[in-house]
Amino acid sequence: MLMALVLYHLATVSIAQSPAMATDESCKHFRELVVEQRCGLLHIRFQRHWQRRTLYELMRALDLASADAAVKVVVLSGEFSAACGGETEPLALKQGLQKRSRRTAAQEEAVGSGDAEEQYIHEKAANFVMRSLAKKLLVQRKLLVAFVERQCVGLGLSVCSLCDLVFATESSAFVPAFSHLDPCTKVGPGWTVPHVHWLLRLGDQASSSTALQCGLVASVVREPQEFWHRVDQYLRLPFASLLATKRLLFRPWQDSLLAELREEGTPLAAQRRRLARSSL
């Protein structure tokens, strides 16, 4: 009933043209992201190539939104095609692979056992970063909305799967295939659970209309301006109404996932993973 009242209110609010975004002083200190703030909205825009710094800056921007009482809605947009390999390496944590490429064949044989340790360190570091980001997305108090205009690949889909609402254009596409994710996912970390869910629902690739039918996407828009008009409508609502809507959108698995992510971060859980790996 509450959701119906909110949607009715949204439908009856007159649509206003979006004012120009104002850049707050705290939004200027980002290199990989474009962060803008105006009238209750924090807009985080991804640029073309995701790096490890991109994820750190995203966590910092989410903290900025949580701490600012004036922010009611957080929008993620821009480049969600964060695939693995080449110039779009999502985490940029594979320094070990670069070092190995400079070794001779004899050196490779001598340090074979060290490679396994190096890979373990990489997996631990990469999963720590993603586990931290997943927890921040799950506990974000403001309405968190993702807007996909082109392809959503790799970590881009992982991030979208943890947002409250996902909007997409008609020409966008979703690629849940794990081949686009970092090899750290081979150990089955908890943050990949929502990604696996949509992989099973969508297959290796899906259009925005298929993602809408499966429930990943809340609405498909023809033009970006249509989405921003919708955001303007959300911003007209009292913050209490948005919080109520966020609670209604809360999925049952989110609590258990958050508890699992917190458990994964304990020293005991890390020791269990180490022992399980050494027994393989």
- Domain span including residue 260: 25-94+116-279
Cβ neighbours for 254, distance < 8 A, ≥ 6 positions apart: 138
Cβ neighbours for 56, distance < 8 A, ≥ 6 positions apart: 129
More confident residue, 6 or 204: 204
Query: Is residue 264, in this structure, part of any structural domain at all?
Result: yes
> What CATH number should be reported for the domain holding residue 64?
3.90.226.10
pLDDT category of residue 8 using cuts at 50, 70 and 90 = very low
Q: What's the pLDDT tens digit per position in 15-42?
A: 333 344 444 556 678 888 999 998 899 9
Q: What's the pLDDT tens digit per position in 82-130?
A: 765 444 444 544 444 444 444 444 454 554 555 677 777 777 788 888 8
Query: Is residue 16, in this structure, part of any structural domain at all?
Result: no
- The CA distance from 88 to 52, in Å, is 11
Query: Is residue 226, in this structure, part of any structural domain at all?
Result: yes
Looking at residue 171, its pLDDT comes to 94
Query: Is residue 242, in this structure, part of any structural domain at all?
Result: yes
Q: What's the pLDDT tens digit per position in 152-203?
A: 988 899 999 999 999 999 999 999 888 778 777 877 788 888 888 899 999 9
Query: Is residue 100, in this structure, part of any structural domain at all?
Result: no
Query: Is residue 121, in this structure, part of any structural domain at all?
Result: yes
- How many independent structural domains does the chain possess? 1
Query: Is residue 80, in this structure, part of any structural domain at all?
Result: yes
Query: Is residue 4, in this structure, part of any structural domain at all?
Result: no
- The CA distance from 207 to 218, in Å, is 14
Looking at residue 120, its pLDDT comes to 74
